[in-house]
């Protein structure tokens, strides 16, 4: 058998593929960035509520 080496063009095509990380969430596969964005949004909302509560009581 010959050793077949892929051409540079094939390497460029294969290296530009994007890998999407997913998580099984409620029986569906969800992109990790979606979960990360939800967590960040909820934490910002909680921080805002706590800061408003502190401002009201002080």
pTM over the 0.75 mark: no
Average pLDDT, 10 consecutive residues per value, the chain (58 residues): 55 62 80 90 97 92
- Note the pLDDT of residue 16: 60
Q: From CA 31, how far away is CA 18, in angstroms rounded?
A: 13
SS3 for 1-53, per residue? CCCCCCCHHHHHHHHCCCCCCEEEECCEEEEHHHHHHHHHHHHHHHHHHHHHH
Query: 26: which DSSP letter?
Result: T
Q: What b-and-e string marks burial along 3-14, b requiring 16 or more CB atoms within 10 Å of the CB?
A: eeeeeeeeeeee
């Amino acid at each position: 058998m010959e050793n077949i080496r892929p051409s540079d063009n094939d390497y460029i095509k294969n290296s530009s593929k994007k890998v999407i990380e997913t998580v099984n969430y409620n029986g569906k596969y969800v992109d990790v960035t979606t979960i990360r964005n939800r967590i960040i949004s909820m934490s910002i909302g909680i921080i805002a509520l706590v800061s408003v509560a502190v401002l009201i009581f002080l």
